[in-house]
């Protein structure tokens, strides 16, 4: 019960890594509060998390919505101990496509803006909304979802990689700014993980991911959840400003 009675907010908690993290934290005694834009999935997920759990429909890209969520959680529970900024989306394409010297395609500006608004601005919105409550109570933990591609880059992911690299920088700044208030800020960088998005890919692509991972398999959402659990717990009380790779040893592109 490493998180007994801790109030934990998880964005994008209706599925994938967010859902696995919510379940893992509930097992460790946390009062879990998840948000997502998928109402039906969120309502189904929260039923598995115990009587103290809550679900809110929140678009993290909306600053006011993020603030209203933080305010509502604090009003209900009287504190916010942990924030996990997990929500994220993909809109992959190449910066430009050229054939026979002619431009044949490019990443749509709307796709770039959308991924930035959720994956990066969403982290900013929720962190800024929650931090004052953590300062008021004398401490807390903020954990941000980066990715190995934010560290190594990846073909066809200009927008996604930019956000995940940005999350790394943001994490290090917040660790410096908020440490004086007893707030620890770290990031987790998952490798290829067997979420619903990955499972929809062709088998050949999935096998290629495994082949390039020294441990020979995809990560499971619970693998990432366990990393979040460690960083959220008192066992990591002297760790801040770090990025923990949970990737089976892969180096993207090799």
Sequence-separated (6 or more) residues with CB below 8 Å from residue 48: 23, 26
Report how far residue 6's alpha carbon sits from residue 159's, in angstroms, rounded to the nearest whole number.
Answer: 34
Residue among 56, 74, 133, 160 flagged as catalytic: 160
56 labelled catalytic: no
- For residue 5, what is the DSSP state? T
Tokens standing for residue 143: 């954990």
Sequence-separated (6 or more) residues with CB below 8 Å from residue 28: 1, 2, 3, 4, 229, 233
Strands 102-106 and 96-99: antiparallel
Report how far residue 91's alpha carbon sits from residue 233's, in angstroms, rounded to the nearest whole number.
Answer: 33
> Which residues are known catalytic residues?
160
């Amino acid at each position: 019960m490493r998180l007994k009675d801790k109030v934990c907010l998880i964005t994008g908690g209706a599925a994938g890594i967010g859902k696995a993290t919510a379940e893992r934290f509930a097992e460790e005694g946390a009062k879990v509060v998840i948000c997502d834009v998928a109402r039906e999935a969120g309502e189904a997920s929260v039923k598995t998390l115990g009587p103290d759990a809550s679900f809110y429909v929140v678009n993290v890209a909306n600053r006011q919505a993020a603030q209203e969520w933080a305010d509502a959680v604090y009003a209900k529970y009287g504190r916010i101990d942990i924030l996990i900024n997990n929500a994220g989306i993909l809109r992959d394409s190449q910066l430009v496509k050229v054939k026979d010297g002619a431009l044949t395609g490019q990443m749509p500006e709307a796709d770039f803006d959308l991924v930035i608004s959720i994956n990066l601005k969403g982290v900013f919105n929720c962190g800024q909304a929650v931090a004052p409550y953590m300062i008021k109570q004398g401490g807390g933990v903020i954990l941000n979802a980066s990715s190995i591609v934010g560290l190594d880059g990846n073909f066809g992911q200009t927008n996604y990689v930019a956000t995940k690299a940005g999350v790394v920088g943001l994490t290090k700044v917040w660790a410096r700014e908020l440490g004086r208030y007893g707030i620890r800020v770290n990031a987790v960088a998952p490798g290829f993980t067997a979420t619903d998005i990955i499972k929809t890919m062709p088998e050949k692509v999935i096998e290629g991911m495994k082949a390039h991972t020294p441990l020979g398999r995809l990560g499971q959402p619970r693998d990432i959840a366990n990393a979040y659990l460690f960083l959220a717990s008192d066992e990591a009380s002297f760790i801040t400003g770090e990025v923990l790779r949970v990737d089976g040893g892969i180096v993207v592109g090799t």
